[in-house]
């Protein structure tokens, strides 16, 4: 049997206008590719019923599986269901189970359903609804001339959830191949070092397949397991995860969606310790990353953004002499900032950052990207232990700041 042909159709004015980048199509194409299916056609239309209809017709002439995202919302410009009904030559009819589910979704949030949302429970006669536990818009599945059309919400998180819930399993069954994948995130070594350490594990003819990617200074190890059934795919995946972890050890900080800040937060939480920060070159980014995690108030106390030298002196008691003799970007100043935080707060740990983010401000001895980070720790005998690290980081201003924040988090992660 020849491989199934697939097409992806994304709908929305904001996509057609270039205001929103179409990440749904890229994500879906990747999901298909992982299962050995190539999408031969990607289409984008505005919120325009005749354009949606024409795109659906073309996609049906080219492919057996058509994945559609967007235009299922409650407003006037959400036209996917109308285009689909027109294509099928049928009417829309109310699907009571979907209406009840939408009403319940609002009720759980203590809101009443607006009249407008009722349209989201309208299903073309002959099609079926796909429930959406994470949003209001159910999806729609139709079989047209033996070809599957699957309409999903435009909101990326809802779309992904619906794909995993209603489409992935059926595709696995159809292709006779089950794919399970995981990502392990590392910090502290470059991609080539990680590849070197993984060695034979990265052979291209291996299953599960192991590969590396880098994004924003974090090297991630992707593991993709393929088998004839779910238990085999999952157990092979877990075995390889174990092998990768044993090779990389402490370099691995998290899996899948886990961030470095989450990992640090979890460790602080488990240890019952608290953290405060003093930031110069990161200007609050460290605090931002830490507070991105819900529940961070349990371990993160707060911090100081001491950008000017006078603030480092006045707020954190950094001696003027240290700045004069060593410069603001120096080991003594980073350490004094971290000590200053413990002097001004009850925190158990203090992180401090000071560096040259660029593009200006660099010199021969201290080029752009020169960063000192320090960690101060209050010991059980009330003494303070301080350690500092020098980094010379590549990248533009935004990258230097992000890498600095990550390096600081990693210093703490390794210390707890």
Binding site for ligand ATP (CB under 6 A): 10, 12, 14-15, 20, 22-25, 69-73, 78, 137, 153-156, 158
Measuring CA to CA, which residue among 405, 349, 403 is closest to residue 377? 349
What's the length of the chain? Answer: 416
Q: Which does 22 bind (CB under 5 to 8 A by kind): Mg ion, ligand ATP, none?
A: ligand ATP
Measuring CA to CA, which residue among 164, 241, 33 is closest to residue 233? 241
How near is the Cβ of 60 to ligand ATP at its closest, in Å? Answer: 20
Binding mask 68-87 for Mg ion (x = CB under 5 A): --xx----------------
Using an 8 Å Cβ cutoff, are 338 and 411 in contact? no
User: Of 71 and 358, which has the nearer Cβ to Mg ion?
Assistant: 71
Q: How far is CA 155 from CA 23, 70, 111, 129, 278, in A?
A: 10, 7, 20, 17, 37
Q: Which does 335 bind (CB under 5 to 8 A by kind): Mg ion, ligand ATP, none?
A: none
Q: How far is CA 400 from CA 66, 149, 353, 357, 371, in A?
A: 43, 46, 12, 6, 9
User: Of 23 and 49, which has the nearer Cβ to ligand ATP?
Assistant: 23
User: Of 158 and 226, which has the nearer Cβ to ligand ATP?
Assistant: 158
How near is the Cβ of 129 to ligand ATP at its closest, in Å? Answer: 13
CA distance 350 to 296: 15
| Count of positions on this chain that bind Mg ion (CB under 5 A) | 3
User: Of 31 and 69, which has the nearer Cβ to Mg ion?
Assistant: 69
How near is the Cβ of 52 to Mg ion at its closest, in Å? Answer: 11
How near is the Cβ of 46 to Mg ion at its closest, in Å? Answer: 10
Residue with nearest beta carbon to Mg ion: 12
Q: Which does 293 bind (CB under 5 to 8 A by kind): Mg ion, ligand ATP, none?
A: none
CA distance 266 to 260: 10
Residue with nearest beta carbon to ligand ATP: 154
Q: Determine, following the binding rule CB under 5 A, whether residue 153 of this chain makes contact with Mg ion.
A: no
How near is the Cβ of 298 to ligand ATP at its closest, in Å? Answer: 31
Omega before 359 cis (within 30°)? yes
User: Binder to Mg ion among 12, 139, 265, 355 (CB under 5 A)?
Assistant: 12
Residue showing tokens 């696995």: 172
CA distance 217 to 394: 10
How near is the Cβ of 164 to Mg ion at its closest, in Å? Answer: 21
CA distance 318 to 159: 51
User: Of 70 and 340, which has the nearer Cβ to Mg ion?
Assistant: 70
Q: Supply 102's token pair.
A: 């939408």
């Amino acid at each position: 049997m020849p491989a199934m042909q697939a097409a992806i159709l994304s709908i929305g004015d904001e996509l057609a206008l270039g205001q929103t980048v179409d990440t749904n199509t890229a994500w879906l194409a990747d999901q298909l590719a992982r299962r050995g299916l190539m999408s031969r056609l990607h289409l984008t239309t505005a919120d325009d019923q005749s354009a949606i209809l024409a795109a659906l017709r073309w996609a049906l002439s080219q492919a057996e599986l058509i994945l559609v995202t967007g235009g299922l919302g409650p407003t006037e410009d959400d036209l996917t269901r109308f285009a689909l009904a027109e294509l099928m030559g049928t009417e829309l009819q109310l699907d009571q189970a979907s209406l009840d589910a939408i009403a319940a979704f609002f009720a759980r949030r203590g809101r009443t359903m607006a009249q407008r949302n009722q349209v989201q429970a309208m299903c073309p006669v002959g099609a079926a609804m796909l429930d959406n536990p994470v949003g209001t818009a159910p999806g729609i599945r139709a079989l047209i001339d033996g070809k599957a059309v699957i309409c999903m919400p435009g909101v990326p998180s809802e779309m992904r959830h619906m794909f995993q819930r209603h489409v992935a399993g059926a595709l696995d069954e159809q292709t006779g191949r089950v794919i399970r994948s995981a990502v392990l995130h590392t910090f502290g070594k470059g991609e080539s070092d990680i590849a070197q350490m993984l060695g034979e594990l990265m052979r291209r003819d291996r299953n599960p397949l192991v590969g590396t990617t880098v994004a924003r200074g974090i090297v991630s190890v992707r593991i993709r397991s393929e088998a004839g059934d779910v238990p085999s795919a999952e157990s092979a995946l877990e075995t390889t995860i174990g092998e990768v972890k044993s090779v990389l050890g402490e370099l691995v900080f998290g899996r899948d969606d886990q961030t470095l800040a989450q990992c640090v937060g979890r460790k602080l939480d488990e240890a019952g310790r608290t953290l405060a920060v003093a930031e110069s070159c990161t200007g609050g980014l460290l605090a931002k990353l830490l507070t991105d995690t819900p529940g961070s108030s349990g371990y993160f106390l707060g911090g100081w953004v001491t950008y000017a030298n006078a603030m480092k002196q006045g707020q954190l008691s950094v001696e003027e002499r240290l700045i004069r003799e060593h410069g603001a970007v120096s080991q003594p100043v980073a350490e004094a900032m971290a000590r200053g935080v413990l002097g001004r707060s009850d925190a158990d740990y203090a992180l401090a950052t000071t560096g040259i983010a660029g593009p200006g401000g660099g010199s021969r001895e201290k080029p752009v990207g020169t960063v000192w980070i320090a960690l101060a720790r209050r010991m059980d005998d009330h003494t303070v232990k301080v350690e500092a690290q020098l980094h010379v980081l590549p990248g533009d201003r935004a990258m230097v700041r992000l890498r600095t924040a990550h390096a600081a988090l990693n210093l703490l992660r390794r210390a707890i």
